[in-house]
Amino acid sequence: MFVVATAGHVDHGKSTLVRALTGMEPDRWAEERRRGMTIDLGFAWTTLPSGGTVAFVDVPGHERFVPNMLAGVGPVPAALIVVAADEGWMPQSAEHLAALDALGVAYGLLAVTRADLADPGPATARARVEIAETSLGAVPAVAVSGLTGAGLPQLRAALDRLAAQLPAPVVDDPVRLWVDRSFTVRGSGTVVTGTLGAGRLRVGDELELAGADEPVRVRGLHSLGEARPEAAAVARVAVNLRGTPRDRLGRGDALLTPGRFHHTDLVDVRLAGDPAADLPATLTLHVGSAAVPVRVRPLGPDTVRLRLARPLPLLVGDRALLRDPGRHHVSGGVRVLDVAPPPLGRRGAAAARAQVLAELDGRPDLAGELRRRRLIRAGALIRMGVPVHAEPVAGDWLADPAHWRGLGEQLAEEVARHAREHPLEPGMPVDALRQRLALPDRVLVEALVRPPLRIHAGRVGAASANALPEPVALAVRRVRAEYGDRPFRAPEADRLVDLGLGPREIGAAVRAGALLRLADNVVLLPDALDDAVRVLAGLPQPFTLSAARQALDTTRRVAVPLLELLDRRGATRRLPDDARIVVT
């Protein structure tokens, strides 16, 4: 199937032509049939000579219903431009063509209707000139009469050729189904329709309703009037949603593959049309089937920032158009450059941003996004429409390579600075490093640590567990020299001071494993515990505190906390009579 939207001035025979081609009535409303004028979108389809199917989105031509027209054209890849032979090129012909051009529609046909009433030559020549200057370029033209049927076989053949030119749809892409109609079917519930431009829908799929927190589930699918288990792009589809109230969604909403789209109310875009400086402060943005008021802030000659009245699921590279509804004027097409732009709070930020945008072309670019954003989660880029094919640096974080190298160098500098300013601490806390480097996640700090640095006990410092500031290392060496042959004798408080071991120095030595703290101001060399167990195991079991003190050649000041530490570590066990045994 391929989908084509009609376009053209009111009363030029768009609906008549669709009716003649398909045998179906595209005007759904009784008022439309009574007035002979299309007011809202109509839908019909037919089989082409090749056996393929074409589905038509028939749009209104009156200037009052241009928003309805744009809702139908927005998601459709090709257009059938209709011009009446007896009236020729008209104002809505021009506005509809401007809309197609703004949306970047590149495939189409020209049908010159009412060829039974006037020579189609002049109208054809004028329309071709107008169309050739747009994104459609040179298009085939067919003169037809919906009343007599003249030219319909040629138009069918031309539609077949157009279908063969269209690029193959991407059925593996995420689904973004812009809703152009919603209604309730008795016994089935809420049904929405739209043009499936990419991806695949299946009965039972869980989707996300744009702007809502709750998932919705596909209860049933119809395409071309038939129930189907699945539908693949490009197709007109009707989706029956399970348990979703009718008032929850309508035209301009979208059904999405969960987690694959960024909902944004702020975008930077490139404008093709009126100069950015000439745009009014408020316009309407038309994208998909949505029409949303926006506030316009010019940045560069052809770049603007748009503040949307409500968030939309937009991607980098999306095409949309800006329209001034008061003047019935298409201000121009836009190409989305950034769906998560930075704030412009500082003086000169807008000018700097314009320079950045001048280098963007609206094509998703992983390397460029990383260069501009420096650090970003892979999922965030995917939701912006940027394919991710790089390995994360930590978790799901991606980084610009140059920025990541710079962060590694800065981390080493910060750790060295901290060591100079706090020589007795065993390293710089990870959270303090995260703040100094302005990183959003501590896993990034951990990933940046490289030898000779290491992480120990939540701090980043020298890789050697025994690394100590030289004054502390010297004091420990003096303790070892003085007490090495008396391992269970602890320096008195005044001797600790003489050795250069105050509370902070003792703490640093204990953290580095260079000293063993038994109690305040009671420290031994770190191998004292194992030596004590060997000595105590040689005593008759059980043994008393006094026997232990004598065997260890130490004082009660050391023996009591030493035995208590051995009890806690399970090397000894205290008995009810306060004697102890060595646990083997």
pLDDT in tens, 74-93: 678 899 999 999 999 988 88
Name which of 387, 383, 359 is nearest 372 in CA terms: 359
Question: What is residue 36's predicted lDDT score, i.e. its pLDDT?
Answer: 41
Higher pLDDT, 349 or 513: 349
Q: Could you give the CA distance from residue 111 to residue 13 in angstroms, rounded to a whole number?
A: 10
The token pair that represents 554 in the structure block:
């130490």
Residue 68 pLDDT grade (very low, low, confident, very high; cuts 50, 70, 90): low
Window from 234-238, 381-385, 458-462 with minimum mean pLDDT: 458-462
Q: Is the pLDDT confidence value at 29 over 50?
A: no
pLDDT score for 464: 57
Is residue 465 scored above 60 in pLDDT? no
What's the pTM?
Answer: 0.78
Give the distance, in angstroms, between the CA of residue 446 and the centroid of all CA atoms in the same chain: 24
Query: How many angstroms separate the CA atoms of 310 and 265, rounded?
Result: 6
pLDDT, greater one: 27 or 54: 54
Element containing residue 325 per DSSP (H, E) = none
Q: Which tens digits make up the pLDDT trace of 155-174? A: 999 999 999 999 888 889 99
Alpha carbon distance 369, 350 (integer Å): 19
Where do the DSSP E strands lie in 367-524?
375-377, 397-399, 428-429, 453-456, 459-462, 516-519, 522-524
Tell which residue, 317, 313, 55, has the closest CA to residue 175.
313
Q: What are the start-end ranges of the E strands in 472-579?
A: 516-519, 522-524, 572-574
HEC per residue, 394-413: ECCEEECHHHHHHHHHHHHH
DSSP string, 475-495: HHHHHHHHHTTSTT----HHH
Average pLDDT score over the chain: 88
User: For residue 254, which phi and psi values (nearest 5 degrees)?
Assistant: -145, 145
Higher pLDDT, 258 or 67: 258
**pLDDT tens for each residue of 186-220:** 878 889 988 898 999 999 999 998 877 678 999 99
How confident is the model over 224-274, as pLDDT tens digits? 888 999 999 888 899 999 878 877 888 889 999 998 998 999 999 999 878
Give, as one character, the DSSP assignment of residue 543: B
Min mean pLDDT across 325-329, 372-376, 466-470, 572-576 is at: 466-470
The upper half-sphere exposure of residue 303, i.e. CA atoms within 13 Å in the direction of its Cβ, equals 21
DSSP 169: P
Q: Are strands 459-462 and 453-456 parallel, antiparallel or unpaired?
A: antiparallel
Q: Which tokens go with 66?
A: 């241009």
> Is pLDDT at 18 greater than 70 in this prediction?
yes
pLDDT given at position 74: 62
